[in-house]
């Protein structure tokens, strides 16, 4: 695969040229405020490098899941406002539409070194259409904004698993390049799949085991240990014959998990499950709770109504010990309901262990999405870890061994 780089584009000369950058500004919002600006911060270096080189930078991005038409709650306005706060020197502005009259007029007036963010690409149904012709037509409109000598840079690794117009089809229309964020993510993921130093420990959490099935399947035989927490752990406990009360359980996945447990032993991969869990009377920040053995959830004070919301302190310490002994660690998914202080202990223990491992020379990767939000909300700085991914679902699909359309489109 031959992916041309940002430096190659800048060396070719971009002053006075329009460069369309696909950035990842899909950030969580609290009302009209950005609650986690990690993806915005990660997008700034490429935008800045192009602006400093004199390019007229057009930024395309999405936020949320609008249904192919403008919706105020999915406007990129809060993300652009935060971008302006973080990098005021860019003078970034937001077009009132994506490829319509407002975007066309604003793009025409763009000066060298200036930045215009186009409104949410998913406000146009053609962005995500399964019809090749519809997507191609939208991509042509995006390309038209760049004039006769435009270029395209994909710097949104979190979207490269989508066959969308602003990710896949646009690369067929304009000379295309990978942004530094995409390049870095690929380097990290290669280390996790083909170049990982051993011992290699994977920590998986999150709510549903079904979301991680393909990743688990592909990691068996590659990882030395897979530590399981979060809501998905209860399906693993059930697969071992334990009762889990009212905890999250995917009954239909129990046979699959049993197969994984059997295969892993033969392949040399050890699954490590919690020995204790925090069980609560209900799903609430102030719910009564207690720590019980993982195989005695229904023996808690709450009986069959007990709800597991975190791994226990003994398990947190055991997970930390396993992480400390690793040379490579990949973590995706919180260990519990970290948004509630009473059930954040397991996630904090894992985050601290990764941070310490990184300080001691290990290679630690925090998966995107909830994992990244968790470490930031718990007060950990991004540079406490080897890498915090912006990839989310794209990173998981890469680890599953899937081909990613956005990367294939950049190959030329």
Active-site annotation, residues:
39, 208, 369, 393
124: three-class secondary structure by DSSP: coil
369 is in an annotated binding site: yes
> How large is the C-alpha radius of gyration of the chain?
23
Nearest-angstrom CA–CA distance, 171 and 286: 50
| Paired tokens of 23 | 């950035």
122 is in an annotated binding site: yes
161 is in an annotated binding site: no
The answer to whether residues 238 and 244 touch, using CB atoms and an 8 Å cutoff, is: yes
Nearest-angstrom CA–CA distance, 264 and 249: 21
26 is in an annotated binding site: yes
Nearest-angstrom CA–CA distance, 330 and 338: 19
Q: Residue 125: what are its φ and ψ, rounded to 5°?
A: -60, -20
Residue spans of beta strands (DSSP E) within 32-160: 33-34, 56-60, 93-94, 115-117, 151-154
183 is in an annotated binding site: no
62 is in an annotated binding site: yes
162 is in an annotated binding site: yes
233 is in an annotated binding site: no
Q: What is the CA 390 to chain-centroid distance, rounded?
A: 4
312 is in an annotated binding site: no
The answer to whether residues 232 and 333 touch, using CB atoms and an 8 Å cutoff, is: yes
250 is in an annotated binding site: no
368 is in an annotated binding site: yes
Q: Which of 277, 395, 402 is nearest to 331 (CA)?
A: 395
Total residue length of the chain? 412
39 is in an annotated binding site: yes
The answer to whether residues 176 and 149 touch, using CB atoms and an 8 Å cutoff, is: no
Distance in angstroms between the alpha carbons of the first and the last residue of the chain: 8
127 is in an annotated binding site: no
Nearest 5°: CA angle at 397, between 392 and 398? 100
Nearest-angstrom CA–CA distance, 159 and 390: 10
DSSP for 289-353, please give it.
Answer: EEEEETT-GGGSTTGGG-EEEEE-HHHHHHHHHHHHT-SEEEEES-SS-TTSGGG-HHHHHHHHH
289 is in an annotated binding site: no
64 is in an annotated binding site: yes
Q: How many CB atoms lie within 10 A of CB 211?
A: 17
Q: Which of 325, 378, 368, 333 is nearest to 228 (CA)?
A: 333
For the annotated binding site, the residues are 24-26, 39, 62-65, 122, 162, 212, 308, 339, 368-371
Residue ranges at the known binding site for ATP: 212, 308, 339, 368-371
Binding-site residue numbers for (2R)-3-phosphoglycerate are 39, 122, 162
């Amino acid at each position: 695969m031959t992916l041309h780089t940002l430096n190659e584009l800048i060396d070719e000369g971009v002053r006075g040229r329009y460069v369309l950058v696909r950035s990842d500004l899909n950030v969580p919002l609290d009302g009209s405020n950005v609650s986690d600006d990690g993806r915005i911060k990660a997008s700034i270096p490429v935008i800045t490098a192009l602006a400093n080189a004199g390019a007229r930078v057009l930024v395309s991005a999405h936020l949320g899941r609008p249904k192919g038409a403008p919706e105020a709650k999915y406007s990129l306005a809060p993300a652009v406002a935060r971008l302006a706060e973080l990098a005021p020197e860019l003078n970034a502005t937001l077009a009132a539409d994506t490829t319509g009259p407002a975007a066309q007029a604003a793009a025409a007036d763009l000066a060298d070194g200036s930045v215009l963010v186009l409104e949410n690409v998913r406000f146009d149904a053609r962005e995500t259409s399964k019809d090749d012709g519809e997507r191609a037509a939208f991509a042509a409109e995006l390309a038209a904004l760049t004039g006769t000598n435009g270029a395209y840079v994909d710097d949104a690794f979190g979207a490269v698993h989508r066959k969308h117009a602003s990710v896949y089809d646009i690369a067929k229309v304009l000379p295309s390049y990978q942004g530094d964020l995409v390049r870095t993510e690929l380097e990290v993921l290669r280390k996790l799949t083909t170049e990982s130093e051993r011992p290699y420990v994977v920590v998986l959490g999150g709510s549903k085991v079904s979301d991680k099935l393909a990743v688990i399947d592909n990691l068996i035989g590659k990882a030395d240990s897979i530590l399981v927490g979060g809501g998905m752990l209860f399906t693993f406990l059930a697969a071992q014959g334990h009762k889990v009360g009212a905890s999250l359980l995917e009954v239909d996945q129990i046979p699959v998990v049993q197969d994984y447990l059997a295969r892993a032993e033969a392949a040399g991969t050890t699954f490590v499950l919690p020995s204790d869990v925090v069980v609560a009377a209900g799903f609430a920040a102030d719910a009564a709770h207690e720590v019980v053995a993982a195989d005695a959830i229904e023996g808690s004070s709450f009986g069959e109504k007990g709800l597991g919301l975190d791994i226990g302190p003994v398990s947190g310490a055991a997970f930390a010990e396993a992480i400390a002994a690793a040379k490579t660690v990949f973590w995706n998914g919180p260990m519990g309901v970290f948004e509630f202080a009473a059930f954040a202990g397991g996630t904090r223990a894992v985050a601290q262990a990764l941070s310490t491992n990184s300080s001691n020379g290990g290679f630690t990767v925090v998966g995107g999405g909830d994992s990244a939000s968790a470490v930031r909300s718990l007060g950990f700085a991004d540079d406490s870890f080897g890498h915090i991914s912006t990839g989310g679902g794209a990173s998981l699909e890469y680890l599953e061994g899937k081909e990613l359309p956005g990367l294939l489109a950049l190959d030329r």
